């Protein structure tokens, strides 16, 4: 049976580091990029006699995320110890939540070629991150950096509702958008603050019995997620078709070879010897705290996208790009409050503004001009004060200096000539100098019109109002 005769079954476990200033059970900094083992203390190093103290902000972020994903927020949840031994886990166990997590039974809607699809969220729980092993291949050593040990994580576990690699990527992108909009995670896959594990199995199409699953660990890019899942589906089908049996195991994605390879046999829950964390009492979240979190929820990406298409009349393509990042969406709306033509505003955002941000490597928060100034520039283009091309130059100068559009136009002499008499004099001169081309045009060679426009604009150094230039040429040529 070919791969097409099998149905993949996929679930994702998303690990999101929370944007707190300190770790989950101690006061150490969570800042990325510090020297190895600089952001540590006796608590996150697991020294004898220390006790964890829960970071309240972590709970607030967990509740916020659960509500955004339409979960049931549990008023009582329990901490557990997950016991395993690894060099980057100094205590020999991880404080997490097991059978009583803080959030359960949510959902996230994604887009597929067949339309919207609901992916169920099984659970969300809080836990501490492990440290990081740094392998030095040249020296044959493995070093341990514990700066990350104790950084707060949310683990968001989906039900196995995804049916191909593209759906998995779409789900991960949608989840990232939600977490970034909520302000609980920075969505940075490269630094590992947003990553996922994928549980993959296959079953013959038409079957309702899931196959044996394998877990693909620590996938930190959308591209790697897609490649790893597609390879693993093909690998499992090959195993089954050759008469073998898929083993339940944890596998790693080898980026260089483009294959998954076995890491270890997959542990079951009893292998971790979970038991309630004796140093932390059960966590109680009040109704008032849940209600306050619900009221403070921002408009989420999907709702904002829908509103942008309805309120501003934007195409779905424009709205999707504008709402992909919350700061960009907010800046667009601030500009739209000063400028009524939303589609024209969107064109400038998707064209010139995005180009400048990319080329200069400037974050949106560092823009030097205000929404009112951008609206002023677009108004000047609409009135014919400057041409569209000159307007792009003005925007570039605003981007670099923060000067007002009117000042830049004046300083650079970019004001467009809209004096009918002045333009008419140039048109008359060009037509007089090109009598042969005029005859060709009047004889039916209409493409010559572009030649006349170019000559007039050249003579006026690009400052002639294009609309007036076209109108006067047509009038003089007898159209």
Q: What is the length of the chain?
A: 479
Q: Scanning the structure block, which residue is given the tokens 């955004």?
A: 68
The answer to whether the CB of 300 falls within 8 A of the CB of 181 is: yes
Mean pLDDT of 388-408: 93
- Is residue 463 over pLDDT 80? no
- Residues 405-417 have a mean pLDDT of 86
Quick check: 457 pLDDT over 90?
no
DSSP labels for 183-194?
TS----TTTTSE
pLDDT, mean of residues 285-304: 96
At residue 268, the pLDDT reads 67
What pLDDT score does 402 carry?
Answer: 93
What confidence tens digit (pLDDT) does each residue in 184-228 have? Answer: 999 999 888 999 999 999 999 989 899 999 999 989 999 999 999
Whether the pLDDT of residue 362 is over 70: the answer is: yes
Q: Going by C-beta distance under 8 Å and a sequence separation of 6 or more, which residues neighbour residue 372?
A: 338
Q: What tokens appear for 476 in the block?
A: 């003089």
Output the pLDDT for position 1.
58
Mean pLDDT of 70-90: 94
Q: In this predicted structure, what is the pLDDT of residue 310?
A: 97
The winner for highest mean pLDDT among 59-63, 240-244, 362-366 is 59-63
**Which tokens is 118 given?**
């609901």
Asked if pLDDT for residue 476 goes beyond 80, the answer is: no
Closest CA to 118 of 131, 105, 104: 105
For CATH 1.10.10.410, the residue range(s) in the chain are 420-476
* Residue 140, burial from CB neighbour count under 10 angstroms (0-12, 13-18, 19+): exposed
Neighbours of 280 (CB within 10 A): 17
| Cα distance between residue 391 and residue 286, in whole Å | 55
* Among the ranges given (7-11, 183-187, 370-374, 449-453), the one the predictor scored with the smallest mean pLDDT: 449-453
Q: Model confidence over 235-281: pLDDT tens digits?
A: 999 999 999 999 999 999 999 999 999 987 766 667 889 999 999 99
**Residue 312 predicted with pLDDT over 90:** yes
* CATH of region 420-476: 1.10.10.410
According to DSSP, residue 269 is labeled G
> Looking at residue 352, what is its pLDDT?
95
Q: Which helix (H) or strand (E) holds 59?
A: helix 56-68
Can you tell me whether residue 279 is helix, strand or coil?
A: coil
Mean pLDDT of 339-349: 97
Q: In the block, which residue shows the tokens 């740094």? A: 134
For the chain, state the CA radius of gyration.
Answer: 30
- Is residue 126 within 8 A of residue 150, CB to CB? The reply is no
Distances in whole angstroms, Cα of residue 414 to Cα of each of 255, 394, 462: 52, 9, 9
- Which of helix, strand or coil describes residue 49? coil
Place of tokens 């803080």: 102
Q: pLDDT at position 240, please?
A: 94
DSSP alpha helix (H) spans, 242-362: 287-295, 301-311, 316-322, 326-336, 342-348, 354-360
Give the model's confidence band at 389: pLDDT under 50 very low, under 70 low, under 90 confident, else very high.
confident
Question: Rounded to the nearest 10 degrees, how much is the dihedral formed by the CA atoms of 374, 377, 379, 385?
Answer: 180
Tokens of residue 239, six digits = 């195993």
Beta strands in 160-248 (DSSP E): 194-204, 214-219
Give the 3-state secondary structure of residue 275: strand
Q: Give percent of the chain with pLDDT exceeding 90.
A: 74
| Mean pLDDT rounded to a whole number for the chain | 92
CA pair distance 84, 89, nearest whole angstrom: 8
- The dihedral sign for the CA sequence 190, 297, 60, 154: negative
Closest to 12 measured CA to CA, from 238, 260, 194: 194
Least confident of 271-275, 398-402, 418-422: 418-422
Q: For residue 219, how far is the Cα from the chain centroid?
A: 16
The pLDDT value recorded for residue 44 is: 94
In this structure, what token pair is assigned to residue 420? 């009918």
| pLDDT value at 461 more than 80 | no
Question: What confidence tier does 394 reach under pLDDT thresholds 50, 70, 90?
Answer: very high
């Amino acid at each position: 049976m070919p791969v097409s005769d099998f149905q993949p079954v996929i679930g994702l476990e998303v690990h999101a580091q929370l944007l707190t200033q300190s770790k989950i059970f101690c006061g150490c900094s969570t800042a990325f990029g510090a020297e190895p083992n600089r952001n540590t203390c006796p608590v996150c190093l697991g020294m004898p006699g220390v006790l964890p103290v829960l970071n309240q902000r972590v709970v607030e972020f967990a509740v916020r995320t659960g509500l955004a994903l339409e979960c049931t927020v549990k008023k009582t949840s329990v901490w557990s110890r997950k016991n395993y031994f690894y060099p980057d886990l100094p205590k020999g166990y991880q404080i997490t939540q097991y059978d009583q997590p803080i959030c359960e039974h949510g959902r996230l809607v994604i887009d597929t070629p067949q339309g919207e699809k609901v992916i169920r969220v099984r659970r969300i729980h809080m836990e501490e991150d492990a440290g990081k092993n740094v392998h030095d291949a040249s020296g044959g050593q493995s070093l341990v950096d514990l700066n990350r040990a104790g950084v707060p994580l949310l683990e968001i576990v989906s039900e196995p509702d995804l049916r191909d690699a593209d759906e998995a990527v779409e789900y991960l992108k949608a989840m990232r958008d939600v977490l970034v909009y909520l302000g609980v995670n920075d969505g940075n896959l490269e630094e590992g603050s947003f990553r996922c594990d994928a549980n993959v199995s296959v079953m013959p199409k038409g079957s309702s019995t899931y196959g044996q699953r394998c877990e693909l660990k620590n996938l930190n890019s959308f591209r790697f997620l897609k490649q790893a899942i597609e390879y693993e589906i093909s690998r499992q089908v090959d195993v089954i078709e050759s008469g073998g049996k898929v083993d339940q195991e944890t596998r790693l994605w080898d980026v260089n070879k483009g294959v998954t390879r076995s890491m270890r046999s997959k542990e079951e829950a009893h292998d971790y010897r979970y038991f309630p964390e004796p140093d932390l009492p059960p966590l109680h979240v009040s109704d008032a705290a849940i209600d306050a979190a619900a009221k403070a929820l921002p408009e989420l990406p999907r709702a904002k996208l829908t509103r942008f298409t309805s309120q501003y009349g934007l195409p779905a393509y424009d709205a999707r790009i504008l709402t992909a990042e919350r700061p960009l969406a907010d800046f667009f709306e601030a500009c739209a409050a000063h400028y009524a033509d939303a589609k024209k505003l969107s064109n400038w955002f998707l064209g010139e503004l995005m180009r400048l941000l990319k080329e200069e490597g400037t974050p949106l928060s560092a823009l030097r001009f205000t929404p009112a100034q951008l609206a002023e520039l677009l108004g000047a283009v609409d009135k014919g004060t400057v041409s569209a091309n000159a307007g792009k130059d003005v925007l570039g100068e605003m981007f670099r200096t923060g000067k007002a559009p009117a000042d830049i136009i004046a300083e650079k002499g970019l004001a467009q000539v809209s004096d009918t008499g002045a333009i008419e004099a140039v048109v008359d001169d060009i037509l007089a100098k090109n009598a042969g081309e005029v005859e060709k045009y009047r004889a039916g060679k209409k493409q010559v019109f572009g030649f006349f426009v170019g000559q007039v604009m050249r003579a006026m150094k690009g400052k002639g109002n294009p609309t007036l230039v076209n109108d006067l040429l047509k009038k003089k040529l007898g159209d």
